[in-house]
């Protein structure tokens, strides 16, 4: 089976054509600068092919058309005709309270995604554009929506309700939703497999990348997660502030006389986090580590603050789960940052977590990194959101 996985953003669109059973990726790529000018980067891993082409992309429709064209291209393509694509799986950011799992796309599903635009104003319109562009390019092809929020819908009210007047929940659905759900589902499922599928399990997943979130998972079901109504909440991230006292927003807006609430939120999303703590140097942990090694105190603070906050969340989620069997690190920093993992785990020695320093050198591979006498297993498990989307798509089509 060939599944085309699409992750459409407002000005970009990532794609992978893959086999959901084996996980083999036949081709993958990125359309950038949609709505501006347009550039396609296309790769065929088995043939070491990398093609970069400037192609006008006034809308997502032209981007999808360019993807279809290169996938069937005699030289750089991997299929003879679009008929060889069995189905399309879309990453959709916000499923609100309507979607607890992935769903075959029909008019009702599209309307429900549209209804969630107030909750995901930046991403849901782009996700819909990706879906509609695929409908146009491949009429009648089965399509599936896989929601970033769905895995977290098993949270109990005490975890998802905000302590604000009830009418905002009842009338406006304001609550914690959480994101990166496809990654948390993939990685927690794998962790449970690696533990030998015990009947009962308590797992904390640390998805640490440019965006970061943690989840507390009991018996395979999410109990709590660090992002909230939007991905701004939780630990400090590459450019997002993470949890912040709302009065900080009031103070900054009073001080910066011309700043609108949208400008302020834009700053909290794009100019904060470790980038702000490093005095604007970088949101990339590799740059911060290099800076700290040169003796840059701001880089050092950015790294230490990040690890401290992640460590605190793990402590809180261990209490939420009333114990812990397995701690997992995933995503760019989680998979590739031994120093970060070591610093985070230094806050957890009190609960018997001990790393194996040799195993913790791993970068990008699945590996148990806890010492044999650690009371809690600690793993690095590479995430694969595209595979999860492809598997859900294959199952529903």
9 touches ligand AMP (CB under 6 A): no
- Burial of 73 per CB tally in 10 Å (0-12, 13-18, 19+): middle
Q: How far is the C-alpha of 237 from the C-alpha of 227, rounded, in Å?
A: 11
16 touches ligand AMP (CB under 6 A): no
DSSP H helical segments within 225-352, as ranges?
246-255, 261-270, 273-277, 285-293, 297-321, 331-336, 338-346
86 touches ligand AMP (CB under 6 A): no
Site stretch for ligand AMP (CB under 6 A), options 74-82, 165-173, 284-292, 348-356: 284-292
Site stretch for ligand AMP (CB under 6 A), options 24-32, 96-104, 198-206, 282-290: 282-290
* Residue pair 290/258 in contact by the 8 Å Cβ criterion: no
* Residue pair 299/334 in contact by the 8 Å Cβ criterion: no
User: Taking CB under 6 A as the rule, which mask of x and - marks residues 349-378 in contact with ligand AMP?
Assistant: --------------x---------------
Taking every pair of Cα atoms in the chain, the longest distance, rounded to a whole number of angstroms, is 60
95 touches ligand AMP (CB under 6 A): no
Min CB(366)–ligand AMP separation in Å: 16
The residue from 48, 148, 325, 343 that is catalytic is 148
For 165, residues 6+ apart whose C-beta sits below 8 A from its C-beta are none
Q: Which of 210, 264, 315, 368 is in the footprint of ligand AMP by CB under 6 A?
A: 210
Site stretch for ligand AMP (CB under 6 A), options 80-88, 184-192, 301-309, 333-341: 333-341
29 touches ligand AMP (CB under 6 A): no
286 touches ligand AMP (CB under 6 A): yes
**229-248 residues near ligand AMP, rule: CB under 6 A:** 238
Q: How far is the C-alpha of 353 from the C-alpha of 378, rounded, in Å?
A: 8
Site stretch for ligand AMP (CB under 6 A), options 25-33, 246-254, 326-334, 373-381: 326-334
Active site residue 148: yes
Specify the pairing of strand 103-104 against strand 143-147: antiparallel
Tell me the Ramachandran region of residue 32: left when phi exceeds 0, alpha when psi lies from -120 to 50, beta otherwise: beta
Could you give the residue numbers annotated as active site? 148
**Which positions lie near ligand AMP, rule CB under 6 A?**
209-210, 238, 284-286, 331-333, 336-337, 363
């Amino acid at each position: 089976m060939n599944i085309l996985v699409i992750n459409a953003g407002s000005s970009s669109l990532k794609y992978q054509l893959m086999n959901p059973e084996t996980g083999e990726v036949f081709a993958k790529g990125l359309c950038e600068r949609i709505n501006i000018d347009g550039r396609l980067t296309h790769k065929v891993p088995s043939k070491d092919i990398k093609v970069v082409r400037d192609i006008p992309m006034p809308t997502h429709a032209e981007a999808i058309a360019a993807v279809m064209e290169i996938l069937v291209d005699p030289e750089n393509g991997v299929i003879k005709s679009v008929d060889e694509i069995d189905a399309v799986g879309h990453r959709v950011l916000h499923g609100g309270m309507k979607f607890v799992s992935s769903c075959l796309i029909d008019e009702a599903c599209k309307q429900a995604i549209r209804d969630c635009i107030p909750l995901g104003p930046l991403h849901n319109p782009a996700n819909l554009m990706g879906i509609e562009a695929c409908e146009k390019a491949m009429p009648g092809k089965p399509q599936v929506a896989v929601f970033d929020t769905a895995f977290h819908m098993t949270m109990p009210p005490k975890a998802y309700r905000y302590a604000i007047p009830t009418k905002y929940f009842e009338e406006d659905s304001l609550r914690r939703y959480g994101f990166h759900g496809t990654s948390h589902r993939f990685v927690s499922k794998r962790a449970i497999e690696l533990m030998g599928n015990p009947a009962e399990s308590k797992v904390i997943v640390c998805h640490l990348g440019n965006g970061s979130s943690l989840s507390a998972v009991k018996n395979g079901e999410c109990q709590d997660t660090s992002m909230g109504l939007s991905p701004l909440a939780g630990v400090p991230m590459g450019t997002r502030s993470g949890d912040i006292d709302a009065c900080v927003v009031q103070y900054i807006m009073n001080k910066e006389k011309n700043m609108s609430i949208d400008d302020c939120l834009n700053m909290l999303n794009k100019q904060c986090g470790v980038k702000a703590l490093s005095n604007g140097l970088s949101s990339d942990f590799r740059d911060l580590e290099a800076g700290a090694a040169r003796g840059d105190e701001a880089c050092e603070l950015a790294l230490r603050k990040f690890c401290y906050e992640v460590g605190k969340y793990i402590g809180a989620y261990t209490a939420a789960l009333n114990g812990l069997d397995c701690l997992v690190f995933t995503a760019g920093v989680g998979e590739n940052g031994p120093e970060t993992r070591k610093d985070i785990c230094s806050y957890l020695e009190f609960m018997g977590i001990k790393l194996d320093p040799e195993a913790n050198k791993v970068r990008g591979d699945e590996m148990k990194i806890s010492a044999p006498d650690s009371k809690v297993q600690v793993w690095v498990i590479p995430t694969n959101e595209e595979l999860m989307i492809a598997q859900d798509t294959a199952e529903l089509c």
